[in-house]
Structure 1
Amino acid sequence: MRLERAVDAYLRHISIERGLSEHTVAAYRRDLAGYVDWLADRGVDDIEGVTTQLVSDFTAEQAAADPPPAATSIARLQSSIRGLHRFLTREGVAAEDPTGRLRPPKTPLRLPKALSIGDVERLLDGAGPAPADAAPGDLIGVRDRALLELLYATGGRVSEIVQLDVDDLSHGDVLRVRGKGAKERMVPVGSYARAAVDAYLTRARPELSRRGRATPRAFLGARGAPLSRQSAWLVIQQAAERAGLTAHVSPHTLRHSFATHLLQGGADVRVVQELLGHASVATTQIYTHVTVDALRDVYLTSHPRAR
Structure 2
Amino acid sequence: MSETPENSPPDTEKSTSTSFDTSDETQIDERDRLNRDAIALPSHVAGSGTLDRLIENARDYAKASTAENTNKAYAADWKHFARWCRLKGTDPLPPSPEMIGLYLTDLAVPTGPSPALSVSTIDRRLSGLAWNYAQRGISLDRKDRHISAVLAGIKRKHARPPAQKEAILPEDILAMVATLGFDLRGLRDRAILLLGYAGGLRRSEIVSLDVGKDDTLDSGGWIEILDDGAILTLNAKTGWREVEIGRGSSEQTCPVHALEQWLHFAKINFGPIFVRTSRDGKRALEARLSDKHVARLIKTTVLKSGIRAELPEKDRLALFSGHSLRAGLASSAEVDERYVQKQLGHASAEMTRRYQRRRDRFRVNLTKAAGL
| TM-score above 0.5, yes or no | yes
* C-alpha distance in 2 between matches for 1:261 and 1:36: 46
Partner of 1:69: 115
Alpha-carbon displacement from aligned partner over 1:270-292 (angstroms, at most 9, x marks no partner): 54344223456544332346425
- Cα distance in structure 2, aligned partners of 1:16 and 1:279: 26
Distance verdict in 2 for CA 1:215–1:64, change over 3 Å: farther
The letter of the residue matching 2:160 is T
3-state DSSP class of the match of 1:195? helix
| Structure 2 residue identity aligned to 1:261 | S
Give secondary structure in 1 for the equivalent of 2:232: strand
CA pair 88-228 structure 1, distance change in 2 beyond 3 A:
closer
1:16 and 2:62 aligned: yes
Please give the alpha-carbon distance, in whole angstroms, between the structure 2 residues aligned to 1:92 and 1:141. Answer: 49
Task: Give the match for residue 5 of structure 2.
Answer: none
Tell me, in whole angstroms, the C-alpha distance in 1 between the residues paired with 2:141 and 2:135: 9
Task: Name the amino acid aligned to 2:76.
Answer: R
- What stretches of structure 1 of length at least 5 have no aligned partner? 129-133, 297-307
Post-superposition CA distance 1:147-202 (Å, at most 9, x none): 11101111111221112111212253211223237x32211112021121112212
Match of 1:284 among 352, 357, 362: 352
Q: Take 1:190 and 1:64, find their aligned partners in 2: how far apart are those partners? A: 50
Secondary structure class of the residue paired with 1:188: strand
Choose which of 246, 265, 268 in structure 2 pairs with 1:190. Answer: 246
Which stretch shows the higher mean deviation, 244-253 or 186-195? Answer: 244-253
| One-letter amino acid matched to 1:216 | G
Change (3 A) 1:235 1:217: same
Q: Is the 8 A contact 2:191 2:255 kept in 1?
A: yes
- Measure, in 2, the Cα distance between the counterparts of 1:11 and 1:283: 35
Cα distance change, pair 96–151 in 1 and its aligned pair in 2 (3 A): closer
The answer (yes or no) to whether the contact 1:20–1:180 under 8 Å persists in 2 is no
Q: Which residue of 2 aligns with 1:60?
A: 105
Match of 1:110 in 2: 163
**Cα 1:153/1:174, change in 2 over 3 Å:** same
Q: 1:276 to 1:67 in 2, by over 3 A?
A: farther
The one-letter code matched in structure 1 to 2:343 is L
Give the structure 2 partner of residue 141 of structure 1: 186
Counterpart of 1:267, as a letter, is D
Amino-acid identity (%):
26
Q: Which has the higher helix share?
A: 1
Structure 2 unaligned residues grouped into runs of 5+: 1-29, 40-58, 213-221, 248-253, 279-284, 310-315, 364-372
Q: Give the equivalent residue in structure 1 for 2:224.
A: 170
Correspondent of 1:123 among 173, 176, 179: 176
Q: Does 1:218 find its partner at 2:273?
A: yes
1:159 matched to 2:204? The reply is: yes
Please report how far the alpha carbon of residue 27 of structure 1 lies from its aligned counterpart in structure 2 after TM superposition: 1.6
CA shift, 1:100, in A, is 4.3
Instruction: Provide closer, same or farther for how the CA distance between residues 20 and 109 of structure 1 changes in structure 2, counting only shifts above 3 A.
Output: same
Once residues 304 and 241 of structure 2 are traced to their aligned partners in structure 1, the CA distance between those partners, rounded to angstroms, is 33
Q: 1:27 aligns with which of 73, 76, 85?
A: 73
Matched to 1:169, the amino acid is: I
- SS of the equivalent of 2:178 reads helix
Give the match for residue 15 of structure 2.
none
1:205 to 266, 271, 281: 266
Give the distance between the partners of 1:231 and 1:82, measured in 2 at CA.
27
Q: CA RMSD in A?
A: 3.8
Per the alignment, residue 267 of structure 1 pairs with 336
- Note closer, same or farther for the CA distance 1:236–1:82 as it changes in structure 2 (3 Å cut): closer
Distance change >3 Å, CA 256–CA 58, structure 1 → 2 = same
Q: SS of 2:100's equivalent?
A: helix
Aligned to 1:305: none
Pick from 240, 255, 267: which aligns with 2:326? 255
Q: Given residue 190 of structure 1, which amino acid in structure 2 is its aligned partner?
A: G
Amino acid aligned to 2:196: L
Q: Which amino acid aligns with 1:46?
A: L
Question: Which deviations, in whole Å up to 9, do the C-alpha atoms of 1:185-228 show, x marking residues without a partner?
Answer: 211112021121112212x221xx6xxxx971101222313223
Separation in 2, partners of 1:11, 1:71: 31
Amino acid at match of 2:224: S
Amino acid in structure 1 at the alignment position of 2:74:
Y
More strand by share: 2
